[in-house]
Structure formats: C-alpha cells, structure tokens
Amino acid sequence: MKIAIVTETFLPSTDGVVTRLTQAIKYFRSKGHEVLVIAPDLGVNEYEGAEVVGIKPITLPFYRYRPFTLPSKKVKAILENFQPDIVHAANPILLAASAVQYAKKLDYPLIATYHTHVPKYLDYYWMYKPAKPLLWHHIKKLHNTADLNLCTSKAIKEELIEKEFHNLHVLQRGVDIYHRHPKYFDNHMRNRLTNGDDSKKLLIFIGRLAIEKEIHKIKPLLDAREDIALAIIGDGPLRNELENTFKGTNTIFTGFLHGEELSQAYASADAFIFPSVTETLGLVILEAMASGLPVVAAKSGPTMEQVKDEETGLLFENENVSSMIDAVNKLDNNDLLLEMKQNVRLEAEKYAWEKASQQLLDYYYQTIDIHNNTKNLVAN
C-alpha cells in the first residue's frame, strides 16, 4: 500500500503526535508499505525508509515556540506525483487541511485523526478565545470531509460526537514497552533529578511547557511538603515563567531529554504527576506506567480511562490543592506504592505499539473500502 501522511508536526519535534506517527511509520515500513510524509520543513527528509517532504514553515504570533506550515498548493502536486492508495491527515488545521482539500479533489481515500484539543487550548489564551466557535467549525468541516475519522479516547469521541463529527472511531493507545521499562532505573539520574538529595520522594513531569499543561498547579504541593522533589522535563514557551514560579522550591528544569536519558528519567522517579485536563489522551501517562511509575493525575475523561485510583495511580480533583496533596500523601504508603508500580507495568504491556499500529493499518483498509463503496453508490 502507498500511504501519504500529511501532518502539522513531525521530527525533530517531540510530542505525542510525532511519537504515534513515527511508531506507525516504522511498523508500516516493516510490513513493506511505501510511506510518504508531508510536514513542516524542519530539516528531516527521511525516516525509516519513508520520504519526508518538507514545506516551508512560519512562526505564528500567538505561538512562537514552534513553527507551523500554512495550507499549501504544493500538497496537491506532491500527492499527484506519489499517487497514494490512502491519505492520512493528522490533526488537520493548517498544512494537513491541504491534505483534506486535495484528497477530496483528487478522489483519494481519506482518513483524518484528531490528536490535539486545540479549541480547548484557546480557553488558556484569552485574546483568542472568541475565535473558539470558528475554530470548531473549521475543524469539524475538515474532519467531516474524510471517509473515516479517528480520535484517541472514548471521552474525546463523545465530545466530538456532540460536535457532530461523523464516522468516528477510537484508535488504541500505544507505548514503547522496551525503551520505557523499570530496568532503566539509574542512581546517577535520580541524584541529578533530585538535585543531589535522592532521599526525597521524586515526582516528574514530562511534556511541553505551555500554559494549557497547567504545570503551575503543582507549586502548592511543593510548598506543603519539603520532602518532595520535582523534575520538570521538557521545554516550551512558558519555561522562563515556570522557572520563576517554582523558584525556591525543590524543583529542577532539565530541558528536553532524549533516548536512554529519557528512559532513565522515567524509571528513576517515584511517581509521574499530570495536572493537565486538556489532553485528548496523554501518551506520557502510558510511558510513565511502562516505566513502573504510578500516575498522580487531575481527573479528566481521557485521564480516567487510563488511570484507576489506587490501582495504577492516584486521582485528584482539578483545581483542588487539598485533593492533590491528599493524593500525593498516599505515596507514603510503601505497600500501596509497590503494588501500583507492579500494576502499571502489567497494564502498559497490553498496549505495545505494534498492536496500535496494526489497528491503524486496519482502519486504512476500512477507509479505502468506505471510499470505494461510496463512489460506487454515487456512480449507480
């Protein structure tokens, strides 16, 4: 099969969308499928034998941390030259909106995936919040052009159905159970992340440092408990502000970590803390679980699909400091902590990337069938 993936984000960027796409591409190539990726041009032109065609990006005024590519007529010529069996528009808003437009015009089977809750993000950027209804309209129109749509959790599916998205299915989550593993525990990394005091209970946050991640909500916990260390791993537009917010607490900022260092960071902590309620899934939750970490998380639909209270983690009420502190206090129960550490690894092992990528491939075939059946109905 010839697969064209058009995405708003790709390597060398690091986020859940890129992780899912790269794992899928690796799997597709291992099965002998030809893959073309169209993405913002960030200097990568090949991945695992798949050609990556970059289109010049720009920096948008409201999010200068990461470049994006606007809709482009170049997508039409690239698709015509490749002649794909299916077009996958990943999170269509800007560049991937061109995939929707030209797949329709060129009569290619089209699947679209909803990964990032961008309309929800506007709640955190007050100057753009009035544009939220228009953004929903734009995204819904793009997705309802597709033959089939995928999202990443049951909770998001229910929300999108309320927004009248059509032909919607849930794509299974996945995780690298080999490189996210408790075996990567490392004393030197733990010493680094606790700033030299590895007797403290170590919580980690990993992700983009942006306002919608709500990382500031962790601060009262550190004010309440001096025996807790926090490592914030990642980078983003809010880093300087967060460094000021957490100044004087037992917190370190590492910037991005990659490869074995990131595996060690996951495995060397006591728990993963996840304060955001804006995620469509939160792949870092499953990565933490695969590494043997219980997840301390604010309650939201997608999070509660992954974290079972006092089984694979500890849930707290969003915006409730006392609830968060009470949840973290339960980590002092060593028997409970050990039980959760065992549970999370077993749970994560159910979601190896190979299963999720094969499911996506199956949806590609289903999309082709839907497209061809629809075309035959119209013809008759």
Residue 73: pLDDT band with limits 50, 70, 90: very high
Mean pLDDT, residues 209-235 taken together: 96
Q: Does position 378 have pLDDT exceeding 80, yes or no?
A: no
2-174+352-379 folds as Rossmann fold (3.40.50)
pLDDT of residue 281: 83
In this prediction the pTM is 0.92
Question: CB-based contacts of 311: which residues, under 8 Å, 6+ apart?
Answer: 340, 343
pLDDT of residue 130: 85
Q: Does position 353 have pLDDT exceeding 90, yes or no?
A: yes
Rg (CA), the chain: 21
Residue 77: pLDDT band with limits 50, 70, 90: very high
pLDDT in tens, 90-114: 999 999 999 999 999 999 999 999 9
182-351 folds as Rossmann fold (3.40.50)
> For residue 12, is the peptide bond before it cis, meaning its omega torsion is within 30 degrees of 0?
yes
Say which amino acid occupies 106: L
pLDDT of residue 358: 98
Q: Does position 188 have pLDDT exceeding 80, yes or no?
A: yes
Do 2-174+352-379 and 182-351 come out as alike in CATH topology?
yes
Q: Does position 125 have pLDDT exceeding 90, yes or no?
A: no
pLDDT of residue 63: 65
Of 123-127, 154-158, 225-229, 252-256, the range with the lowest mean pLDDT is: 123-127
pLDDT in tens, 153-165: 999 999 999 999 9
pLDDT of residue 365: 98
Question: What are the residue boundaries of the structural domains of the chain, listed by start?
Answer: 2-174+352-379, 182-351
pLDDT of residue 380: 63
pLDDT of residue 62: 61
pLDDT of residue 187: 97
pLDDT in tens, 13-47: 988 999 999 999 999 999 999 999 999 999 999 99
pLDDT more than 90, % of the chain: 89
Residues 206 and 266: their CA atoms lie apart, in Å, by 9
Q: Does position 48 have pLDDT exceeding 80, yes or no?
A: yes
Mean pLDDT across the chain: 95
pLDDT of residue 308: 97
